[in-house]
Structure 1
Amino acid sequence: MHTNRSRLLVPAAAAFAGGAMWAAKAGLILLGIADLGWMVVASQGFMGIALLGLYRHSGERGKLARTGAALAAAAVPLSAFNSLWAEGMSIQPYTYMASIAGVLASSVMAGILARRNDALYERTGRWPLWIGTLTFPAVALGSLVHLESGVLLAGFAWMALAVRMCPPRFRAAA
């Protein structure tokens, strides 16, 4: 178990960046300005980095931690592939869905792991579990009615997780 609390600063910044990208994309769509799809794709890489930091901070080495870390780790290069090369390719929808599924499943596993690991729970609470389980239905429902509110709320949830991950001395300054 890692005791250095500042080790979560980079993952917290990645979680905040990913959440801000989701919220900005949804906000721009809701305002009728633009649909910047690349923001969601790129945000998945940041979210994968954030989840990898959580798994590293937990110090756990069990099957759940290894599986969650592997899913988060897979989301990072998939996100880069989708952002940089896959646009317009027939494989792109599949790699996009694999990336988002990896992030959400890894988030659920981080939430379960946080319930078992006091050091991780102290830093994240139930946020990863709620983000992982509620994001997909919220985004799917938003897609059905063409409303980006699910993506907007998910972005804010990731930003709240990022603030929660920061050491108290950094939270007080914000």
Structure 2
Amino acid sequence: MSAANLLLERIRLDGEINGEIIKVDQFLNHMVDPVLIHQLGDDLAARFAHLQVAKILTAETSGIMLAQAVALKLKVPFIYAKKKRPITMPEYYAAASYSFTKQESTTLYVSKEVLHPQDNILFIDDFFAKGSTLKAIEEILSQAEANMVGAAVIINKSDRRDIESILTLDDLR
């Protein structure tokens, strides 16, 4: 069974769709089904296997599990942009992001020790909605002079088709 069909089945069994709000906290972003995440990661990794991806980049927190699955399949490290800068990160790239789900602004931080000029970066996240997280990641990559070679999410809730996804909002209707 394809990753898209597995995900659709799981959403029907354990999820909920209310307009553009997709509740998947029983298997994706609160309690995580590692087998499902592995299958989703394999699917997305296959779409980028032909590229020279150096690192995966995601935002803390919900993208971490998928980023790890894709990174494992591609055999590259992954970075997650942190929402709070620790004192162990004296030099960093930063950009603001707004979460429409949480209704709050935050700043994302990535250490200059882990992101370098000319790194080929694949952005991974759980959802793509309004694009605020991706915009912040693009700003961070610009500051680092790194290259974004692609972007992928589990569910794309927007009309943008340059974002690879397992499902779109149209698939869920």
Q: Establish whether TM, by shorter chain, passes 0.5.
A: no
TM-score normalised according to structure 1 size: 0.27
Which is helix-richer, 1 or 2? Answer: 1
Which is strand-richer, 1 or 2? Answer: 2
- Structure number with the bigger relative contact order (C-alpha 8 A, sep ≥ 6) is 1
